[in-house]
Amino acid sequence: MALFIEQLLNGLQLGVMLFLMAAGLTLIFGVMGLINLAHGSLYMVGAFACAAAVSATGSFWLGLLASLIGAALLGVLIEIVVIRRLYRGDHLDQVLATFALILILSEATRWVFGSFPLYLNIPPILSGSVPIIPGGGAYPVYRLAIIVVGVLVALGLYLLISRTRLGMRIRAGESDREMIAALGIDIRTLYTIVFALGAALAGLAGALVGPLQSVQVGMGEPVLILAFVVIVIGGIGSVKGALIGAILVGLIDTLGRFLLPKLMIAIVDPSAAAGISAALASMLIYIFMAIVLAVKPRGLFPA
């Protein structure tokens, strides 16, 4: 039972991390109609900015700040230099251009930081683990902190979108782009702000994951694929859908990896069980996505 609760927490943690990625991706698509493949690169840039700032200053908090600012600034730069030219184009142009950005940003990062992974560790205050499950094992404090940050960001985004003037404009932009431009709102600035916001969230996700994983070139692409699965499941353009979708994907992926071997071992011998369950577990979220799309072709919460 304790193990099950621990796995639920693991699933939740993966879910909120995916939400940080998916929220930006879905906002950018919803408001700007842009498919941004380079979102994973912004995640990578966030992690590298954090690692570089930590090794220069020794403070993880400054690292987090550096990741937010670094990714947001890069987002602004990308939006102004590249993305602006793509709004009128079709999705294929956007995919090609943002794919090129992945290659450019990856090689630029390698050029600056080298081919070898950087070291980034958890701040001392968040290291170690606490017993949160009665009678069970301990759970890492840092993973709990990621869950808290994810929940706070979700709450913040909700307030931003539903309660502020900027949020009102974002919602207006989602429903009718031409109309809010006609009403005299500077749509170009709005686009830049939304893109920078999405970039900052991706950078934050990268910085948070950096101490858990390896900070290296190409770290963003596997997450990007998962984030796309999340927004397709949640409904493209919907932040609420991204939240629900991310948590579902996190839970299904984690629990699948945990429960499938147990199921399989009852049916076949242990070696074969490991192989079959590994194969099935890696397919599980895609199977789930297929089922969702079959039942609700526009995702769970169509925008």
- The footprint of another protein (CB under 8 A) covers 3, 6-7, 10-11, 13-14, 106-107, 110, 115-119, 121-122, 127-129, 137-138, 140, 142-143, 211-219, 222, 254-255, 257-258, 261, 270-271, 274-275, 278-279, 281-282
- In 3D, which of 18, 39, 12, 11 has the Cα closest to residue 229? 18
Among candidates 114, 36, 107, which has minimal Cα distance to 75?
36
Contact assessment for residue 194 and residue 27, using Cβ atoms and an 8 Å cutoff: yes
Q: How far is the CB of 72 from another protein (least distance, A)?
A: 24
What amino acid is encoded at 66 in this protein? A
Closer CB to another protein, residue 82 or residue 265? 265
CB of 176 to another protein, least distance (A): 39
Task: Give 76 or 133: the residue with its C-beta nearer to another protein.
Answer: 133
CA distance 281 to 266: 16
- Least Å distance, CB 207 to another protein, is 15
Q: For residues 236 and 247, which CB has a smaller minimum distance to another protein in the complex?
A: 247
Q: Identity (one letter) of the amino acid at 169?
A: R
**Nearest-angstrom CA–CA distance, 17 and 11:** 10
Q: Which is nearer to another protein, 76 or 278 (CB)?
A: 278
| Contact (CB, 8 A) for 204 and 20 | yes
Rounded Cα gap, residues 253 and 10, in angstroms: 10
Query: Which residue type occupies 28?
Result: I
Minimum CB separation of residue 271 from another protein in Å reads 7
> Minimal distance in Å, beta carbon 196 to another protein?
27
By beta-carbon proximity to another protein, the closer residue of 161 and 281 is 281
